[in-house]
Amino acid sequence: MSDYSLLQNTGELPDASNMRFGIVATEWNHRITDRLLERAIETLKACGVNESSISVRRVPGSFELIYGCSRMAEHGYIDVIIALGCVIRGDTPHFDYICEGTTEGLVHLNLEGKIPVINGVLTVNNMEQAEERAGRLDKGAEFAITAIRMVEYAHSFD
């Protein structure tokens, strides 16, 4: 059981049954992002979220998450967005450009938007690190719990 599963079971999380979640996941490195998505959804449901309160959309790659999240925030009736992606370092500087651009775009959405956007983009050196984060380290569940906590935080200002 991961640390996040333990948190769920101790009742330390707010009631998420009335929260609405958007998830934008990349198709690129789908073996990893599919696992992140699966664990995020499982965790949300374990925290009381009805499946009908979870909207999932796909975009080609991590850089496209910015547009995907922006559009979802504009048109979705949701409280928070989880952006899921995985960028694996290669032999060219492309990794650096994608990671920097994606991070800056998601930061901008958080600064200018009305709902939180969770940066669930894994940036790793190799596939083994990606598999560990999506598996044993259970980052998908971690991103879902972060989303629940950020909705609670955002609603504290209502």
Residues annotated as catalytic are 94
Sign of CA dihedral 126, 130, 136, 137: positive
Please list, in sequence order, all residues whose beta carbon lies within 8 angstroms of the beta carbon of residue 97, skipping any fewer than 6 positions away.
none
Q: What is the DSSP letter of 76?
A: -
Helical spans, DSSP H, in 51-138: 65-75, 94-112, 127-134
Q: Is-contact 68 57, C-beta < 8 A?
A: yes
Q: Containing H/E element for 97?
A: helix 94-112
Give the DSSP letter of residue 48.
T
